[in-house]
Chain A
Amino acid sequence: MAGTHTELLGAVDIGAGWLAIGLLGLLRPRGMAWVARILFPLGSLLGIALATAGILALSHGVETLILPFGLPELPFHLRLDALAAVFLILLGATAAGVSIFAAGYFRPGEGTAPGLLGLQYHVFLASMLFVVLADDALAFMMAWESMALSSYFLVTSQHRLPEIRKAGYLYLLVAHLGAAAIVLSFGVLQGGSWQFTFEAMRAAQLSPVSASVVFFLSLFGFGAKAGIVPLHVWLPEAHPAAPSPVSALMSGVMLEIAVYGLLRMNLDLLHGQVWWWGLVTLGLGLLTALYGVLFAAVQTDMKRLLAYSSIENIGIIFVGLGLTLIFRAFHLPAFAALALAATLYHCLNHAFAKSLLFLGTGSVLHATGERNLGRLGGLIHRMPWVAWLALVGTLAIAGIPPFNGFVSEWLLLQSFLFTPSIPHEFINMLLPLGAAGLTLAAALAAYLMVKFYGIIFLGQPREAKLAQAHDCGWLERIGLLWLAAGCVLLGIFPAQVLALISHATLELLHATTAPPLWHGLLFAPVSPERAAYSPALFLFGIAALVCLAMFIVRIAYHGRIRRAHPWGCGGFALTPRMQDTSEGFGQPIRQIFEPFFSMRRELPSPFDAAPHYRVQIEDRLWRWLYVPVVSMVQRIARATGAIQRGRISSYLLYSFVTLLVLLIWVL
């Protein structure tokens, strides 16, 4: 086994390296140049190394390792298989881009000292790495918890602002509710053997009821971290609060790590083959996708908008996962592999594209000091680098071919087209309607991204101070370029990426042969006659035709251009205030889906001296779900408060009564 451990050992070393980088930052905790300019680029190089190790590990089979620490009975087990390798690639490649961006992003005098921030940041990275590698419940939960805690500290790095402390508290609360559910699910999953290695859990035989209990607990636990409705409330609060590189990592990587947990639990450890698990997952995913995209479309804060868009993408990932579970339950491994490939592909896409956009908003925030869409505009002139690279992310999230977002949507729709072959009269009719919901969410995402991009980067600057906005520095440009290149490559070479991903799908689904997904630049899940899409040819066609059209127009006609002010409707000048606002852009969505939102509107009356228009949109789930739960918890707390008298004699009495009751029960 000696020679086969290289990738796993390399990954562990990289995790240790990240921790060491974090600790090195404490040497000069206030030294911005030391932490940002030296340590963060080092961390970025480790990210590239991790992605390389992941790619190598994909074709090398399973590697396991037992670390010589942990509990006496249970040392840390680590395991690197193809599924873990896919997520190592995701983590490493995304972290490489985000770290190099962060090297240029953090400024002195903002919140937490840079050394401490560097420590939290790298602990966050390393703990995500160990979540992916963990092969026993204890190591998993320790890595999971340190991921939650380090990201909590990162979210609250501007902890002097009360609303940021509040957002951090909400995040911590939901994270721990989820963690509790995950611990419980591990407890059920060990199936009475009291062995907490994943190896033992794979072997455990569970009754159908306890298998379903594990499924729901893990869905709750990982769903809380991933942000599925109704556990999504922390996302739109935490993302705007966190510094942009942290938002990028949390949205682009941490949410996907939660998906990894669910995949590990339901496709690897849990053996149940119950079709309605898939249906529940799919339904939740669809609800989440539509909910996320509708709320995203009415946001006015650019980071909140992206947070809701992340919720939508997680929904799409859950739809793919649900479809995988359904196909697997009906013993259709080839189609399950297709749906799982779409799921994993969407994880990769979302990691690159959403990190790119969050980093882009970070640059905009630094250049302008504004997060409010209503005070931005026209930045494509002042910040061309950020604007053009963000356009790539925008097109990717909007699911526009030939960028990467479209590939996974295409794969997912293709797998939906196979659902009529499911031998079950009820769901093979229900599922294509799921495809309808998915297409609606995808089409709304395009609307949303036009709003995002158009309001921030196009048009006229809505504030005078935007004229002083500056483009981002060269380190930030490298980070953005890296992620944008990832989006483009994932979009243009899906066949090659799927060849890598298929190692994981084959391993998880125990399928013997991969469906023929690739053929050079063409990629077709079954056969080219059935369905084919060739993004390289697509891009080449568009680019060649654009060049041809330009060439012909230039040859055949003159190239004269006059610049003039846009027409001001005869007489008066156009002001930036005449443009559509972000509220205006969301208005059709508000109007069409009005029952969906809980809205408060203040309309100006004709007699107002200073007319005000305000519209406030709230999540209905706050009132329907969270407020009742909170008041119930408070009632229970008050009820238990009645027996807390603060006298030692009464507490002794309680202990005595408890002992008595237990004794009687034992007898």
Chain B
Amino acid sequence: MGTVTLTAVLAQGTATVMAVLAAPLLLGWLNQCRAWLQNRSGPGLLQPYRQIRKLFHKDAVIASNASPLFRLVPYVELASMALAAAIIPTLWTRLPFAIAADSIALVGLFAMSRLFLALAAMDIGTAFGSLGARREMLVGFLAEPALLMVFFTTSLIAHSTSLPTIADGFAHQPFVLYPSLAFACVAFLMVLLAENARIPVDNPTTHLELTMIHEATVLEYSARHLALIEWSAALKLFNYVCIGLALFLPWGLAERPTDPTGLLLAVPALLLKLAVTGSGLALIETLNAKMRIFRAPEFLATAFLLAMLGLLVRLLLGS
């Protein structure tokens, strides 16, 4: 963190805008990889952008009984995810905005976006909307403690809950293998899949309403509102992957944006890590099938237990 200078703020602002703009690319890459793994040619990397562009140009159709809350929520979704992007170390660790929220507050930020989405889903009063809200919150209340426990483990190791400090500590220390982090990493991966509505918890491409979780909450949205929500979902995936990278693969992070050699290393390192993680996620999604909705709590309870095991390993063995 250090001193808050104008350069640092400007650099961080630019990086955040870049993250917001580039986030759909990760989703495009993931979908492309999945298509390749399934022997399809795939729609190309830019498909999420085409989708968002198409949606922005359409006329918004809103249910006659929608309240102002319904129209506000897409903006809140995008704003909260953009704010999250500003406090997650992606390229360098001296983040001037990081004082706004540490990792615990980051969990709160994700909770906020989830809660608003659930409220918006209930606003129209359709069967699927409230069903989706209920399921989204179900996944949320199980995933959130697991995520917090992951952060607890890393915070205990790094003696800080601030994400940049944790990443900084992990990146600049001699290579140590923490068994507790291995548990935390698996737990985090499970939370990532659940929170981003990926297989095996949810199927982002489903058209069958009865099995939907996340998609059911946004069924009533159209045009620009839907575009904002899809965009924020892509950004959320990007944020989660970046959190994972900062915690478990922090190597290559620069310390500050004014350090050109560090950046020269950090940018390709980030791209490489994102590409590898994206294809890894595609592999997981290809190898697994979506589970029944009431298997999801078991899946997430496993994540929670793994995170607690990580914590216990840290406390018992000090490693």
Whole-angstrom distance from the CB of A132 to the nearest CB of chain B? 32
Q: Which of A453, A454, A557 has the most CB of B within 10 A?
A: A454
Contacts of B76 in A (CB 8 A): 542, 546
Contacts of A560 in B (CB 8 A): 59-60
Contact in complex: B99, A537 (CB < 8 Å): yes
Q: Does A553 contact B (CB under 8 A)?
A: yes
Q: Given A395-B115, A532-B162, A578-B127, do A592 and B145 touch, yes or no (CB 8 Å)?
A: no
Enumerate A451-490 residues with CB–CB distance to B below 8 Å: 451, 453-455, 458-460
Q: Given the complex of chains A and B, what is the CA–CA distance between A565 and B66 in angstroms?
A: 10
Contact in complex: B108, A561 (CB < 8 Å): no
Q: Given A410-B104, A530-B161, do A566 and B137 touch, yes or no (CB 8 Å)?
A: no
Q: Does B141 contact A (CB under 8 A)?
A: yes
Contact in complex: B137, A531 (CB < 8 Å): no
Q: Given the complex of chains A and B, what is the CA–CA distance between A538 and B138 in angstroms?
A: 26
Q: Given the complex of chains A and B, what is the CA–CA distance between A149 and B131 in angstroms?
A: 45
Contact in complex: A562, B60 (CB < 8 Å): yes
Tell me the nearest residue of chain A to B117, going by C-beta. Answer: A450
Tell me the nearest residue of chain B to A548, going by C-beta. Answer: B79
Contacts of B256 in A (CB 8 A): none
Contact in complex: B64, A564 (CB < 8 Å): yes
Contact in complex: A546, B79 (CB < 8 Å): yes
Q: Does A417 contact B (CB under 8 A)?
A: yes
B315 in complex: contacting residue of A398, A420, A578, CB < 8 Å: A420
Q: Does A148 contact B (CB under 8 A)?
A: no
Contact in complex: A565, B64 (CB < 8 Å): yes
Contacts of B69 in A (CB 8 A): 380, 391, 458
Contact in complex: B119, A533 (CB < 8 Å): no
Among A190-198, A346-354, A439-447, the stretch in contact with B:
A439-447
Q: Given the complex of chains A and B, what is the CA–CA distance between A380 and B123 in angstroms?
A: 9
Q: Does A378 contact B (CB under 8 A)?
A: yes
Tell me the nearest residue of chain A to B143, going by C-beta. Answer: A443
Whole-angstrom distance from the CB of A447 to the nearest CB of chain B? 4
Q: Given the complex of chains A and B, what is the CA–CA distance between A657 and B68 in angstroms?
A: 80
Whole-angstrom distance from the CB of B250 to the nearest CB of chain A? 16
Tell me the nearest residue of chain A to B124, going by C-beta. Answer: A566
Question: How many residues belonging to B are interface residues under a CB distance threshold of 8 Å?
Answer: 76
Q: Does B32 contact A (CB under 8 A)?
A: no
Enumerate B128-150 residues with CB–CB distance to A below 8 Å: 130-131, 133-135, 137-138, 140-142, 144-145, 148-149
Whole-angstrom distance from the CB of B83 to the nearest CB of chain A? 5
Whole-angstrom distance from the CB of B4 to the nearest CB of chain A? 10
Q: Given A400-B115, A446-B111, A545-B83, do A459 and B140 touch, yes or no (CB 8 Å)?
A: no
Q: Does B207 contact A (CB under 8 A)?
A: no
Q: Given the complex of chains A and B, what is the CA–CA distance between A165 and B3 in angstroms?
A: 64
Provide the A359-384 mask, 1 if CB < 8 A to any CB of B, else 0. 00000000000000000011011000
Q: Does A313 contact B (CB under 8 A)?
A: no
Q: Does A433 contact B (CB under 8 A)?
A: yes
Whole-angstrom distance from the CB of B97 to the nearest CB of chain A? 7
Q: Given the complex of chains A and B, what is the CA–CA distance between A562 and B144 in angstroms?
A: 37
Whole-angstrom distance from the CB of B297 to the nearest CB of chain A? 5
Contact in complex: A433, B126 (CB < 8 Å): no
Q: Given the complex of chains A and B, what is the CA–CA distance between A451 and B133 in angstroms?
A: 9
Contact in complex: B123, A401 (CB < 8 Å): no
Q: Does B18 contact A (CB under 8 A)?
A: no
Contacts of B99 in A (CB 8 A): 522, 524, 528, 532-534, 537
Q: Does B105 contact A (CB under 8 A)?
A: yes
Q: Does B40 contact A (CB under 8 A)?
A: no
Contacts of B160 in A (CB 8 A): 529-531
Contact in complex: B130, A398 (CB < 8 Å): no
Q: Does A41 contact B (CB under 8 A)?
A: no
Q: Given A435-B152, A546-B79, A564-B63, do A450 and B122 touch, yes or no (CB 8 Å)?
A: yes
Enumerate B1-27 residues with CB–CB distance to A below 8 Å: 1
Q: Given the complex of chains A and B, what is the CA–CA distance between A459 and B128 in angstroms?
A: 12
Contacts of A439 in B (CB 8 A): 144-145, 148-149
Q: Given the complex of chains A and B, what is the CA–CA distance between A455 and B137 in angstroms?
A: 14
Contact in complex: B140, A446 (CB < 8 Å): yes
B63 in complex: contacting residue of A532, A563, A578, CB < 8 Å: A563
Contact in complex: A580, B62 (CB < 8 Å): no
Q: Does A591 contact B (CB under 8 A)?
A: yes
Whole-angstrom distance from the CB of A582 to the nearest CB of chain B? 10
Question: How many residues belonging to A are interface residues under a CB distance threshold of 8 Å?
Answer: 81
Tell me the nearest residue of chain A to B158, going by C-beta. Answer: A530
Q: Given A447-B140, A459-B124, A545-B83, do A566 and B224 touch, yes or no (CB 8 Å)?
A: no
Contact in complex: B155, A417 (CB < 8 Å): yes
Whole-angstrom distance from the CB of B150 to the nearest CB of chain A? 11
Whole-angstrom distance from the CB of A624 to the nearest CB of chain B? 26
Enumerate B50-99 residues with CB–CB distance to A below 8 Å: 56-57, 59-65, 67, 69, 72, 75-76, 78-80, 82-83, 86, 97-99
Q: Does B101 contact A (CB under 8 A)?
A: yes
Contacts of B109 in A (CB 8 A): 401, 538
A531 in complex: contacting residue of B97, B102, B108, B312, CB < 8 Å: B102
Provide the B148-180 mask, 1 if CB < 8 A to any CB of A, else 0. 110010011001111001000000000000000
Q: Given A399-B111, A538-B83, do A585 and B59 touch, yes or no (CB 8 Å)?
A: no
Contacts of B56 in A (CB 8 A): 553, 556-557
Q: Does B118 contact A (CB under 8 A)?
A: yes
Q: Does A576 contact B (CB under 8 A)?
A: yes
Whole-angstrom distance from the CB of A539 to the nearest CB of chain B? 9
Contact in complex: A563, B311 (CB < 8 Å): no
Q: Does A108 contact B (CB under 8 A)?
A: no
Tell me the nearest residue of chain B to A556, going by C-beta. Answer: B56
A417 in complex: contacting residue of B57, B126, B152, B224, CB < 8 Å: B152
Q: Given A410-B104, A420-B315, A439-B149, do A576 and B141 touch, yes or no (CB 8 Å)?
A: no
A541 in complex: contacting residue of B97, B127, B149, CB < 8 Å: B97
Contacts of B316 in A (CB 8 A): 429
Contact in complex: A429, B127 (CB < 8 Å): no
Q: Given A399-B111, A413-B104, A545-B82, do A580 and B63 touch, yes or no (CB 8 Å)?
A: no
Contact in complex: A542, B144 (CB < 8 Å): no
Contact in complex: A377, B162 (CB < 8 Å): no
Whole-angstrom distance from the CB of B296 to the nearest CB of chain A? 10
Provide the A551-588 mask, 1 if CB < 8 A to any CB of B, else 0. 00100111011111111000000101011100011011
Contacts of A398 in B (CB 8 A): 111, 115
Q: Given A447-B140, A533-B102, A564-B61, do A541 and B161 touch, yes or no (CB 8 Å)?
A: no
Q: Does A205 contact B (CB under 8 A)?
A: no
Tell me the nearest residue of chain A to B165, going by C-beta. Answer: A529
Q: Given the complex of chains A and B, what is the CA–CA distance between A563 and B137 in angstroms?
A: 28
Contact in complex: B149, A436 (CB < 8 Å): yes
Q: Does A6 contact B (CB under 8 A)?
A: no
Contact in complex: A542, B83 (CB < 8 Å): yes
Q: Does A615 contact B (CB under 8 A)?
A: no
Contact in complex: B130, A579 (CB < 8 Å): yes
Q: Given the complex of chains A and B, what is the CA–CA distance between A123 and B111 in angstroms?
A: 41
Contact in complex: B145, A579 (CB < 8 Å): no
A553 in complex: contacting residue of B100, B102, B126, B224, CB < 8 Å: B224
Q: Does A550 contact B (CB under 8 A)?
A: yes
Tell me the nearest residue of chain B to A554, going by C-beta. Answer: B224
Whole-angstrom distance from the CB of B62 to the nearest CB of chain A? 6
Q: Given A410-B105, A454-B122, A537-B100, do A530 and B162 touch, yes or no (CB 8 Å)?
A: yes
Contacts of B61 in A (CB 8 A): 561-564
Q: Does B228 contact A (CB under 8 A)?
A: yes
Q: Given the complex of chains A and B, what is the CA–CA distance between A567 and B124 in angstroms?
A: 11
Q: Does B125 contact A (CB under 8 A)?
A: yes
Contact in complex: B138, A563 (CB < 8 Å): no
Counting from the closest, the 5 A-B pairs by CB-CB distance are A459-B125, A580-B130, A545-B79, A460-B125, A454-B122
13 A-B pairs with CB atoms under 8 Å apart are A395-B115, A401-B105, A417-B156, A428-B315, A433-B312, A447-B140, A450-B137, A530-B165, A534-B101, A538-B100, A541-B83, A563-B61, A564-B64
Q: A400-B112, A406-B108 are in contact. List 13 more A-B contacts (CB 8 A).
A: A399-B108, A436-B304, A443-B142, A447-B137, A458-B67, A459-B125, A532-B99, A541-B79, A543-B79, A546-B76, A566-B65, A578-B126, A580-B133
